Amino acid sequence: MIFFNLTIKRVFFYLLLLLPSAAFSQLINSGGTTTTNTNGTSSSAIPTAVPFLLITPDSRSGGMGEAGVAISPDANANFWNPSKLAFIEGTDDISASYSPWLRSLVPDVSLSYLGYAHKLDDRNTIGASIRYFNLGTINLTDNSQNNQGTYTPNEFSIDGSFARTFGNDFSLGLTLRYIHSNLYTGYASSSSQQTKAGNAVGADISFYYRKPIQEFGNDATFAFGTNISNIGSKISYSDNGTKYFLPTNLKIGVANTMNLDETNQLTFALDLNKLLVPTPPIRDVDGNIIKGKDDNVSVPAGIFGSFSDAPGGFSEELQEISFSPGIEYWYNKMFALRTGYYYQNPNKGGLHYFTLGTGFKYESFAFDFSYIAASQQNSPLANTLRFTLTANFGSTDNK
């Protein structure tokens, strides 16, 4: 048996080896008493593999309470709503983001993101992105505390997107995704199976609608969007082992942008999110279902059944919806202030926090920063920072 040299990672490693069902998502807090998934949610969240796919990568939406489905498009639409790519203002958009992650639990976990969009013509746009989730370098020792080298668990996804407009106000988008989850390789699990990296493929389908309107005598834009992400194959970490659902997720968002005058612009946004995966039933000590529905189903059955399978009925289904209201203010299209709030029911993950953000734009370049303002005692995401650098070519105005 090989051990970690850090207590928190030692417990995490035991989970990886002894609890394959949790191997894809769980870390332990410094007290060793509660679990935290890699996207920050608690163990009360509906379990899925590769929860890093749900982490907000960019600072703009990160400062708006994690709202991004319907706000104005840029290269980060690859994550939020690929159909928005059809409405990018420039010929080429590129965005790079970095966030230290879960630093209150472990010192060297991070998420990196790179997005790109290219407009082929007035109607068609292609996009690409890569997400890399680094769980840090781990020093390994054997039972005699002899050095066994280092290991770096990591996960990544690579996306390709296509978006097309239909008329002046509506667009559709499609994304194909490859997912690689290398949390451990070669170690024997509790079932004596050799572990391996997990691989899966997925897809997003999305649409976006925006309409120029007049509000209080000034120009405004109303937008609405939906994205169903991570529709794809299950993932496994051993041959003939248990297969786990990807975090298939429904995002619905609205945004209203008002040009208050020639220099002041204000956007109000609201996103709703719901996982489209089975809710685990309540079982007795023998594993028999006493309330809820069997969660060992196919991917299509899991998606359609996710609206009616909660053991607590309709009231519990409503608990599975998270809310993300956000506000963005731009002055002279050069300086931005953002704030928002993210809420997730305590029985379904328990994340809730305020967010703050700012942005600076000069010619074709912009720098965005966001901060999660949460209690250090109550949230593993407290004091989380995100940094994003974007560039837009072919236009001087992309906001």
Going by C-beta distance under 8 Å and a sequence separation of 6 or more, which residues neighbour residue 212?
219, 220, 221
DSSP 197: -
What is the chain's mean pLDDT, rounded? 86
User: What number is the average pLDDT over the span 256-278?
Assistant: 95
For the whole model, what pTM was predicted?
0.86
Where helices occur in 187-313 by DSSP H, the ranges are 299-305
- The number of beta carbons lying within 10 Å of the beta carbon of residue 167 is 8
Percent of the residues in the chain that have a pLDDT greater than 70, as a whole number: 85
User: With contact defined as beta carbons under 8 Å apart, do 212 and 178 qualify?
Assistant: no
Confidence of residue 108 (pLDDT cuts 50, 70, 90): confident
For 74, the token pair is 């840029």
Angle at 244 between CA 242 and CA 248, to 5 degrees: 165
pLDDT average, residue stretch 202-209 = 97
Q: Percent of the chain having pLDDT more than 90?
A: 63
DSSP track, 153-181: -EEEEEEEEEEEEETTTEEEEEEEEEEEE
- Please state the domain count of the chain: 1
305 domain residue, yes or no: no
pLDDT attached to residue 154: 92
Are 211 and 226 within 8 A, CB to CB?
no
- Residue-wise pLDDT for 358-368, tens only, equals 999 998 899 99
Q: Is the pLDDT of residue 315 over 50?
A: yes
Q: How far apart are CA 226 and CA 3, in angstroms?
A: 44
Listed residue (266, 82, 55) closest to 177, CA to CA: 82
Give the Å distances, CA to CA, from 157 to 111, 129, 132, 176: 12, 8, 7, 10
Higher model confidence: residue 11 or residue 96?
96
Joined together, the tokens standing for residue 50 give 């590769």
Tell me, yes or no, whether 102 lies in a domain. yes
List the alpha helices (DSSP H) in 221-354.
299-305, 314-319
Residue 77 structural domain = 3-279+320-393
Q: Give the whole-angstrom CA distance, residue 53 versus residue 68.
A: 15
Phi then psi for residue 349, to 5 deg, are: 130, -40
Distance CA 181, CA 163 (A): 27
Is 348 within the bounds of a domain?
yes
CATH code for the domain in which residue 130 is found: 2.40.160.40
User: What residues have CB less than 8 Å from 258, skipping those under 6 apart?
Assistant: 215, 216, 218, 220, 265, 266, 267
Nearest of 19, 18, 111 to residue 59 by alpha carbon = 111
In a domain, 313, yes or no: no
Mean pLDDT across 92-101: 95
Query: Does residue 46 belong to any structural domain of this protein?
Result: yes
Q: Is residue 297 part of a domain?
A: no
d(CA 127, CA 75) in angstroms, rounded, equals 8
Looking at the domain assignment, is residue 355 inside a domain? yes
Query: DSSP character for 194?
Result: B
The answer as to whether 399 is a domain residue is: no
Q: 246 pLDDT exceeds 90?
A: yes
Give the model's confidence band at 10: pLDDT under 50 very low, under 70 low, under 90 confident, else very high: very low
φ, ψ of residue 114 to 5 degrees: the values are -135, 125
* CB 341, CB 354: distance < 8 Å: yes
